[in-house]
Amino acid sequence: MPKKSKLKGKIAHKDIFQLLTETTKKEKQKRREELLAPLDVKEFFVEGKITINKRTCKGIECKLCIKACPTSALFWKTGEVGLTEELCIYCGACVLSCIVDDCIRIERKRSNGEIESFGKPKDFMVLQHWINVRKRFQRIKDVFPKPEDYLRRYKKWEESRE
């Protein structure tokens, strides 16, 4: 009998821990929504992560990423580029404008579960290209009939001629 009570205690403790992490995620999401609401910015990504390599960053010379950020998540603080992760929408504008490869690294998760990661402007452009290719291909599939549809039409046309 004592073994069961210990097991129940562990399960209860685990459930409490899960509840605490869920509430902190909800609070974090609520704060994020409050911060982004006045900016009128649409979020495309469920979650993400942005990192800045302070060793390779040449922020003191250029500050291009700060100028490119649409939400002002990047800012200049004493001697380096600072980051307010709650404001970041993981759009990639900072990576595109950065003069150093792999200085800013973004990992983001789309609503369909697809995870994307990039740190170079070239990687970002290739990723965007393939996303657009998939969208165009889907539009073509939606607009144009499938070969089976042509065959059905042709068969009906042949039957009507006989």
Q: What is the pLDDT of residue 1?
A: 42
| pLDDT tens-digit map of 53-91 | 989 888 778 889 999 999 889 999 888 899 988 889 999
CATH class as words, domain 41-161: alpha beta
For residue 41, is pLDDT > 80? no
List beta partners, residue 49.
Answer: 107
Each domain of the chain, given as residue ranges in start order, spans: 1-37, 41-161
2 exposure class (CB count in 10 Å sphere: 0-12, 13-18, 19+): exposed
Q: How confident is the model at residue 38 (pLDDT cuts 50, 70, 90)?
A: confident
Which residue has tokens 């380096």?
A: 80
Which residues have CB under 8 Å from 117's CB, separation 6+?
A: 105, 106, 107, 108
Q: What is the pLDDT of residue 162?
A: 65
Report the pLDDT averaged over residues 101-112: 91
Residue 132, token pair as written in the block: 């657009």
Q: What is the pLDDT of residue 14?
A: 56
Assessment of whether the complete model's pTM goes beyond 0.75 = no
